[in-house]
């Protein structure tokens, strides 16, 4: 986080203004997707070329997004505001769901700036481009929420069951395995690296023998510890939750006794 803040101060800043912005390995739609940035994320702009911008996200990840998905800002957007707590939240032009279609549908963790409230049900928000919209208060929480306990995170993780797997995905429109684990750790107040291999090697992790697994431990799968390709969270009783394409491409619960996963488990880590 300190590295990101230093980089952010040294680079022009912008905010993501699309529900999800795919980050590519180079400035082309044909380039592979490496990650995503979601609405309201404040990012550093490292380079621009032909309608593309190379950005650095708050988790210190870099990639190319279309410039149309960003808005330049001198000050961070929604530094103190609310974030989407539901799997998805619809934003409306008025405090009524029956008049017009939503202006935007935003994923979990999207950040918004509060302008005013109307009763207990509605919050008026100022969008990143200055436009106003309304969101139901039940869809958002204050960004100052305290970290969740491991049992709370495990219960929370099951809300995501059945959501689609998406390579490079970091939102409820689709997660990949490491993006899902990163989000669950964020819920615990722990900022882990974006990708599975770096997560397993991160100094904030303690190695755990598979015979001593506890709920909340992170599991890493692959050909070896040097070739990790997948991750999930142990939830107890031999089960783990993960975003996977195995058998069906969704967030799902797997079993360590399944031969497919038993032969691929190469490491277990406990966030400190």
Is residue 242 flagged as an active site residue? yes
* Predicted confidence (pLDDT) per residue in 64-103, tens digit: 999 999 999 999 999 889 999 999 999 999 999 999 999 9
In angstroms, the CA 56 to CA 36 distance is 11
Catalytic annotation on 100? no
Q: Can you tell me the distance from the alpha carbon of 144 to that of 57, in angstroms, rounded to the nearest whole number?
A: 20
Q: Give the integer Cα–Cα distance in Å for 123 and 261.
A: 45
Using pLDDT thresholds of 50, 70 and 90, give the confidence band for residue 10: low
The domains of the chain, with CATH numbers, are: 2-72 (2.30.30.40), 82-142 (2.30.30.40), 150-271 (3.90.1720.10)
Query: Which residue out of 100, 185, 242, 246 is catalytically annotated?
Result: 242
Active site annotation includes 185: no
As a whole number, the mean pLDDT across the chain is 95
For 183-197, the pLDDT digits (tens) are 999 999 999 999 999
Which one of 24, 100, 230, 246 is the catalytic residue? 230
Q: How confident is the model at residue 143 (pLDDT cuts 50, 70, 90)?
A: confident
Q: Which two tokens stand for residue 182?
A: 């990163």
Q: Is the pLDDT of residue 19 over 90?
A: yes
How much is the pTM? 0.93
Measured CA angle at 236 (ends 255, 84), to 5 deg: 95
pLDDT for the residue 262: 96
Encode pLDDT of 47-63 as tens digits. Answer: 999 999 999 999 999 99
Q: What pLDDT score does 144 carry?
A: 81
Catalytic residue among 24, 177, 246, 260: 177
Two tokens at 37?
Answer: 């940035």
């Amino acid at each position: 986080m300190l590295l990101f803040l230093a980089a952010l101060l040294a680079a022009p800043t912008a905010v993501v203004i699309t529900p999800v912005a795919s980050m590519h390995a180079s400035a082309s739609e044909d380039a592979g997707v490496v990650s995503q940035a979601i609405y309201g994320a404040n990012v550093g702009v490292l380079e621009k070329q032909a309608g593309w911008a190379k950005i650095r996200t708050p988790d210190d990840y870099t990639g190319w997004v279309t410039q149309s998905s960003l808005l330049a800002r001198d000050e961070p957007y929604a530094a103190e505001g609310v974030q989407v707590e539901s799997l998805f939240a619809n934003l409306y032009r008025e405090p009524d769901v029956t008049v017009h279609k939503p202006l935007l549908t935003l994923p979990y963790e999207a950040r918004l700036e509060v302008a005013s409230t109307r009763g207990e049900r509605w919050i008026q928000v100022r969008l990143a481009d200055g436009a106003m919209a309304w969101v139901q208060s039940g869809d958002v929480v204050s960004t100052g929420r305290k970290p969740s306990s491991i049992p709370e995170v495990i219960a929370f993780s099951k809300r995501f069951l059945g959501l689609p797997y998406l390579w490079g995905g970091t939102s409820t429109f689709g997660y990949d395995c490491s993006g899902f684990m990163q989000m669950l750790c964020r819920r615990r107040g722990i900022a882990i690296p974006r990708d599975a291999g770096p997560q397993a090697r991160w100094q904030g992790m303690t190695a755990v023998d598979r015979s001593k697994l506890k709920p909340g431990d992170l599991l890493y799968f692959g050909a070896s510890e040097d070739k990790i390709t997948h991750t999930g969270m142990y939830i107890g009783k031999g089960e783990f939750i993960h975003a996977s394409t195995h058998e069906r491409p969704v967030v799902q619960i797997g079993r360590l006794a399944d031969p497919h996963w038993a032969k691929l488990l190469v490491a277990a880590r406990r966030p400190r």
